[in-house]
Structure 1
Amino acid sequence: MTLPIPRFHEDARAGQLYLERTGEVAEEALRYAAEHRVRPASEDRVRIAAFGIDVQVAFCTPGASLFVPGAVEDTQRTLRWLYANLGRVTELVFSLDTHRVFQIFHPAWWRDAEGKPPPPLTSITAADVRAGRWRATRFEAESLEYCERLEARGRYVHTIWPYHALLGGLSHALVPAFYEASAFHALVRDTPTHFELKGEHPLTENYSVLSPDVTEVKGQRVGEFNTRLFERLMTFDRVYVFGQAKSHCVLSTLRDLREHIERTDRSRMGRVHILVDAMSPVPAPPLNPLPPALDFPRMADEAIEELRAAGMRVVRTTDPLED
């Protein structure tokens, strides 16, 4: 049964920064659950997870340092989908990109020969570091090895990002409209939202919710595969994936899901449903010629097709949920 949009929700608020209205949301949840006879999530015959990757102010709100163009419309579509299917979505799972000022992908970590930090979207290769074009302000040997290991994986070249999703700052928070949806779902379905923090180790980038891109530098473990979260997701009959950005955190998470499913139980692959109209790529930087490794939209589209070929389902928010 398709459910109506709750009274408090407005599409126009999807891109706005405001204080969440949890009291109003709770009142509406009580009325809504009774009027529409929504059953508790514990009674679901088919268990469905909605897995939101980094739907935070940092990426989804205009004016934020890493706002992804298209994210506001993605939020609107996702919330319409979620509210329409509220009676069937068993659990919400949200990741929270969580950073501090001094991390290897922020400007404060590096200096050029003149002592200046790199501007955002600077690519730093291992060759750059060896040649002295960029020097790490801390952990120099580890930083060089990080660049080498990242390049060896063949997915990304080390990129400097604007300061973003800083713990304690406004950009770290879930988008208010998503937070209200999480509280509403929890109260209507009588089940808590699951939040997963990622990205706190200073010596590695953590695009994927499940694993950092580099897990060891100079014999030091800087991360590992999140088996606990993976197994939690795999308890569901279906996992609908959405969030930001399609070319980075969403894509890396989907790739980790694919690789671990292939290693453990390939029959699980079809459980993963990619809500392809609920995510957008980081735009390619204005370079001519554009290096293939920085053509983020192309990389994302090609990878999604590879994931479809591997057995994941690519769907849209307008598609009806299967029985």
Structure 2
Amino acid sequence: MSTSFEQLINTAKIGSYEYVDLNEIVKLALNENIQPSENDDKRVLFLGIDLQNDFMEEGALGVPGAHGDVERINKFLYNNMDQITEVAVSLDTHSLNQIFHPSWWVDPEGKHPEPFTIITSEDVDHGKWKPVYEQEISIDYVKKLEVLGQKQLCIWPYHCIEGTPGASLESQFARMAHFHSVIRNTTLKKIVKGKDPYSEMYGIIKPEYSRDNQTNRELLAYIREFDEVYIAGQAESHCVYETVRQIAEHFADDLQWTKKIYVLKDGMSCIPGFEEENAKAWQALIDQYGIQLVESSKVTAS
């Protein structure tokens, strides 16, 4: 390509909320001569999970290592520009009052929980924490998480609030993703998730638990159109892992295809404290579905 990586990306500004001048991006892209994605013999998807400002290291729910992850993801996209057919991104999108935010719960003294508090079914049974809103639905949710073997309810700092800069794509990744969309004559697909006030939604396919079936079958069908899928983003221990698990479980009857799910292990980082259990969880997915954890610099989309 005639456009250098450095013309596109300023690694020193990753996580800095830099203004993204799309006019500049389009001008650079129009100088290139790479075939449009519709001509690809092999369809390859890059799926970026929650690459948003609030998950960068200085964000509201900052993930240590996120800056380096974004740099490596951008280099992977740049080096595979002519091989990646489409880029899709998920956007964690919340309001202040949701079941996993402090405002939803109080203790007997009326105090809200601190971020990273775990609320268990035993806690609600003994009155340690009481929901401020929708008591029956909230208590049922906490109990169902445990019955179904999902992650227990964690109270997160207020993050990715709809309409705030924290909910926006990280600027340097946004530059690369939109450059790809112009240069390959495709559309950057944006997947909004997490707006249901009564459930956490780590994976992009469905909530952790919901009384009604919210499985996004249209999105599953879209993903299955591709021959290979590369996945990276934040946070490894939660939204990336659950996304991969949900996709692999849905297509469990097609292990030849799930083996073509590549997770960039140097393009994601854990929320501190979840590393050990996350390593075991990844190994289970590898053993059961054949998904592959790879280094971004050692794999080529083809």
TM-score w.r.t. the length of structure 1 is: 0.90
**Displacement after TM superposition at 1:155 (Å):** 3.2
How big is the alpha-carbon RMSD for the aligned residues of Structure 1 and Structure 2?
A: 1.6
Hey, what's the Cα distance between the residues in 2 that align with 1:300 and 1:66?
18
Unaligned residue ranges in structure 2 (runs of 5+): none
SS at match of 2:119: coil
Tell me what 2:220 maps to.
230
Q: Is the 8 Å Cα contact of residues 8 and 24 (structure 1) preserved in structure 2? A: no
Tell me what 1:200 maps to.
195
Aligned residue type for 1:29: A
Aligned residue type for 1:149: K
- Point out 4+ residue stretches in structure 1 off by more than 3 angstroms: 1-4
**Displacement after TM superposition at 1:141 (Å):** 1.0
Aligned residue type for 1:59: F
How do residues 171-320 of structure 1 correspond to structure 2 at under 5 angstroms? 171-216=166-211, 221=212, 223-262=213-252, 264-284=253-273, 296-309=274-287, 310-320=289-299
**Displacement after TM superposition at 1:129 (Å):** 0.8
Q: Is the 8 Å Cα contact of residues 207 and 213 (structure 1) preserved in structure 2? A: yes
Tell me what 1:26 maps to.
26
Q: Is the 8 Å Cα contact of residues 41 and 189 (structure 1) preserved in structure 2? A: yes
**Displacement after TM superposition at 1:316 (Å):** 1.1
Hey, what's the Cα distance between the residues in 2 that align with 1:322 and 1:199?
30
The number of residue pairs the alignment matches comes to: 301
Unaligned residue ranges in structure 1 (runs of 5+): 285-295
Aligned residue type for 2:45: A
Q: Deviations over 1:103-152 (max 9, x none)?
A: 00000100111101001001111111111111100100111110000111
Q: Deviations over 1:265-316 (max 9, x none)?
A: 33321121111110000001xxxxxxxxxxx111221122222222112211
Q: Is the 8 Å Cα contact of residues 17 and 165 (structure 2) preserved in structure 1? A: no
Q: 1:320 to 1:126 in 2, by over 3 A?
A: closer
Hey, what's the Cα distance between the residues in 1 that align with 2:219 and 2:6?
30
**Displacement after TM superposition at 1:178 (Å):** 1.3
**Displacement after TM superposition at 1:156 (Å):** 1.2
Q: Is the 8 Å Cα contact of residues 4 and 83 (structure 1) preserved in structure 2? A: no
Aligned with residue 65 of structure 2, among 60, 67, 70? 70
Q: Is the 8 Å Cα contact of residues 6 and 83 (structure 1) preserved in structure 2? A: no
Larger RCO, structure (CA 8 Å, separation 6 or more): 2
The percentage of counterpart residues that share the same residue type is 34
**Displacement after TM superposition at 1:64 (Å):** 1.2
SS at match of 2:298: coil
Aligned with residue 86 of structure 1, among 69, 81, 86? 81
Tell me what 2:9 maps to.
9
Q: Deviations over 1:216-274 (max 9, x none)?
A: 1xxxx2x5211111111111010000000000011111111121111x43332112111
Q: 1:203 to 1:322 in 2, by over 3 A?
A: closer
Hey, what's the Cα distance between the residues in 1 that align with 2:118 and 2:195?
21
Hey, what's the Cα distance between the residues in 2 that align with 1:2 and 1:225?
42
Tell me what 2:52 maps to.
56
TM-score w.r.t. the length of structure 2 is: 0.96
